[in-house]
Chain A
Amino acid sequence: MTVHSFQEHFDSLIDREISIEPKDWMPDDYRKTLIRQISQHAHSEIIGMLPEGNWITRAPSLRRKAVLLAKVQDEAGHGLYLYSAAETLGISRDEMYDQLHTGKAKYSSIFNYPTLTWADMGAIGWLVDGAAIMNQVPLCRTSYGPYARAMVRVCKEESFHQRQGFEIMLTLSKGSEVQRKMAQDALNRWWWPSLMMFGPPDAESPNTESSVRWRIKRFTNDELRQKFVDVTVEQAKVLGLEIPDKDLKWNEERGHYDFGKINWAEFYNVIKGNGPCNKQRLDARRKAWEDGKWVRDAAMAHAAKRKERSATKAA
């Protein structure tokens, strides 16, 4: 086949919604876009362990502690499948870590905000995992097979996480005055960063067009953001909490909620590294990696010695 016919074959698979598999020919840009997106997603899972991990040792009940620990462990698991999915595109996990540690690769900006009270465990589950699900459910049908399959499993677990987050918020909102205050404070801090999770407005989103063509993306940033607002406003009513947006109101004509202007200057600054916890999060990951070097070296050395010994035995 000529390059031209490779491209035609690829396009026809895409058009017929047949998944692309690791051994299939694919355009370089497709491969690059996927590596960028999947590794960014994997990094987000790994960095995302930190803000919630921050409350494991302080969880208010043994049951909550066990659920939180299991949840953060799920995130490590998601990171693992996603790194594996990205590896099928010809990049190693170590290379991806290196991109994260040197600041070359991005991760979801939301994790650069601090977790200040227990209610943040509720707000993260409810809002951040809720927003993540909106972003991720369409990816279960994305064109690249290994990514789509990883996402099926990720989404199942995320929806459990979202429910447990909402349940924490519900318990707080039915609790004492200080607990309701804690819940409202967490909503106030996490609301706007959650809306930013869908990325810049469509007009300013450079990657949207080709990603939609390749079914790496199935809805635009603004479409997903609107869907999130519509769903979440109703959930906040159930909790008896107030969304911190004075411009929020139902628009009968559009059949959607109108909402206030997002502070994009803050969004771009947090991406650039000026968020409250950017340095702290990356430092924690780098430290884990550097402190673990002698452990990984030892494991490799031992494996090599074992191999050598069994070869000697066999001979």
Chain B
Amino acid sequence: MSLEYTLRLADDALILGHRLSEWCGHGPILEQDIALTNTSLDHLGRARSLFQYAAEQFNNLPEDEKKTAVTSVAIQNLVNTGSGLDEDDMAFLRDGWDFRNVLLVEQPNNDWAYTVARALYYDAFAFYFFSALQNSKDITLAAIAEKSLKEVTYHLRWSSEWVVRLGDGTEESHERMQTALDELWSFTGELFSMSDAEKEAAQSGIGVDLASLQPKWMERIASVLQEATLDVPKGTWMQEGGKHGRHTEHLGYVLAEMQFMQRTYPGMEW
């Protein structure tokens, strides 16, 4: 279960980092291209630390559990040959249904407003989440949380400023920003609904009680949107499934692209 919890956190970081990296070279302003690439690198760095830890946790599992912990054929082949897994196996050889990221982070960039809306929703969550995870009984996760909190504090400032800029900018930007916020709203509930692995982690003092973060998150979002002269979206129906491996159609394409080299040329050093 603790492996599943680590992967849950790693997958958010990997997939969001991937989405943001798609902007590299295509941003609206050169300085922002650089800023967003930095953020992408932060997420990727966190993904690496977490995947390294997940690989270690996996390699320490009893043999029979290794056969069921991850279902992909590529991972099973490695298990059968007795090789230990590493960070790259975790990222590149698991199948879509093995991924535990929230649906929010796999949503496409669309335009700057969607990218900024997705960032605000996620960064505000990550800020409170890593603040709490610093107290984890798991010292590896606590250390990763401490480093991530510094980064995420900056990310949240960046995304909040952009939401305000677009909300308060022109009529067009206001409208685009509101639409993006509205359309991504239904993916925010999943941030706080706890999977079994998350419940267990929270109870044992390793993870975080997500329900307790929601009011702070809501307050933060409301305050940014108010400054941005935007409305808090009203929808109450929330999409879920990512934490259980049931994703939107987008993830399959992300993985097909991201995993292409490792799948096509297995077992090589790069």
Contact = CB atoms under 8 A, between A and B. Distances in A.
A binds B: yes
Nearest to B20: A69
Contacts of B45: 66
A292 B166 CA distance: 12
B40 A62 contact: no
A291 B111 contact: yes
A62 B170 contact: no
Contact of B261 (A76, A118, A287): A118
A241 B40 CA distance: 35
Contact of A62 (B88, B166, B169): B88
Interface stretch (A1-9, A29-37, A174-182, A222-230): A174-182
Interface in B1-51: 18, 21-22, 24-31, 33-34, 37-38, 40-41, 44-45, 47-48, 51
B170 A69 contact: no
A80 B164 contact: no
Interface residues of B: mostly helix, strand, loop or mixed?
A: helix
Nearest to A179: B268
Given A62-B87, A305-B168, A296 B37 contact: no
A60 B257 CA distance: 11
B24 A60 contact: no
Contacts of B25: 46, 49-50, 53, 72, 76, 284, 288
B94 to A, nearest CB: 13
Contacts of A56: 21-22, 24
Interface residues of A, number: 50
B270 A118 contact: yes
A88 to B, nearest CB: 17
B251 to A, nearest CB: 14
Nearest to B165: A302
A64 interface: yes
A66 B257 CA distance: 16
Nearest to B177: A298
A75 B195 CA distance: 42
Contact of A297 (B51, B91, B92, B169): B169
A83 B173 CA distance: 27
Given A66-B41, A73-B38, A49 B24 contact: yes
A117 to B, nearest CB: 9
29 contacts: A49-B24, A50-B25, A56-B22, A57-B21, A57-B258, A58-B258, A60-B265, A62-B48, A62-B51, A64-B270, A66-B41, A69-B24, A70-B37, A70-B41, A72-B24, A76-B33, A80-B34, A83-B30, A168-B270, A171-B270, A178-B265, A179-B265, A291-B28, A291-B111, A292-B28, A296-B28, A298-B170, A298-B172, A299-B169
Interface string A160-194: 00000000100110111011000000000000000
B112 interface: yes
Given A60-B261, A62-B44, A73-B34, A175 B268 contact: yes
- When A and B form their complex, which 8 residue pairs have the shortest distance between CB atoms, in order from nearest? A292-B28, A298-B169, A298-B173, A60-B261, A49-B25, A53-B25, A60-B270, A295-B28
